[in-house]
Chains A and B, each alone.
Chain A
Amino acid sequence: MAGARPGDDRTAPLVHTAGPTPRSATVLDAAEVSRALTRIAHEVLERNKGPEGLVLMGIPRRGTHLARRLAERLAQVEPAFDAEACTGSLDVTLHRDDLRRNPTRTPEPTRLPATGIDDATVVLVDDVLYSGRTVRAALDALSDLGRPRAVRLAVLVDRGHRELPIRADHVGKNLPTSTAERVFVHLAETDGEDAVLIEGPTERHAEGEER
């Protein structure tokens, strides 16, 4: 039985340290990550004309943490918003179309918010938007769970190179990259610090979940 491979951080969280090297450059520091999230929170409320019917669904693993942070910010601005009841996580592993191109991933739990998602405005939250395949899988997964009134997409970083007709409604930072570069999002919950890093092409095919 082939186990998790080192570097696939969905199956083996330990090895994320195999990610960015000292040569990587910081694109967003902790304060900038925080400001970006605050701005997205305001945009979400503005777009929805208030907190009514809003549900945040994070895509594991870092999207889940980002969704929780966004929900906390929404609740600060709109005390009527029940952050705990309106936040969930949506695992998309079983809906991915690229499973066979990667080592086997262990699915993460999907947690529906207490309010459910039927007729809600679901904001999908993820750390990096790249090919768009994760979001496609998320839309499929979501449709198996219910029928939202609308689905929106919030990401901390949009690094371009879309392979599907998908765009984000709310973006923390647009980050022009080449496909040879690699982007790492670090969050305090998983990595001990908040930061977005970018790393240039390397000789070695570095391991770690590149986005």
Chain B
Amino acid sequence: MIYQTGALGEDGIHLDMNHLKSGEVNLGTSIMAINFRDGVILGADSRTTTGAYIANRVTDKLTQVHDTIWCCRSGSAADTQAVADIVQYHLGMYGITNDEAPTTQTAAALFQELCYENKDMLSAGIIIAGWDHRHGGQVYSIPLGGSLHKQAYAIGGSGSTYIYGYCDANWKEDMSEADGIKFVKGALQEAIKWDGSSGGVIRMVVLTKSGAVRHLYLPDRNYEGPGTEKP
């Protein structure tokens, strides 16, 4: 008799990606975040599914937890929203009590603690990307088990499996903002093309010393616009 706990699969070793309760809203997703010359760029598709049904085709999976610290959420929508809310609260308190904006590592540490300590109850794969005065841009990834990885760029969600090759072939360090946006858009377009549970629009957030700027790219405009303009 093998006892199964939480997210562990039948072998008791590997995590079961599909252990959502019936009817639970899933972010079958393509998300990513990259470092570039002036900071970081986060990107995501916008599809939310309950089984085969698309519950939301214009979801916002890029969530702000502080002024220039954001995260990409994948896994259970409910779990990741709850975790992001808790981190947002803590970072807000940190900023006020220490009279200094929290750093990306502070956010990453808080996310990791929550994801690791509650791994049995959560299905959350989160990418944290932020810009701060002290460290510039940084990207951290927290996959299902709750480990923490500092990376040059990170990809996640079900759609990411299709773009490992694309990213490896096209990744360059120290890209300009335009090249960075092109890289993220190209990768997410491929993920959306091949992954059935990814789709809709491409959302991005660019984080630099001048703050956070949102981008939007629509499929009916061949993902060319409107960019930062209003659609």
Q: Do A and B bind each other?
A: no
Residues of chain B touching chain A, judged by Cβ–Cβ distance below 8 Å, are none
Residues of chain A touching chain B, judged by Cβ–Cβ distance below 8 Å, are none
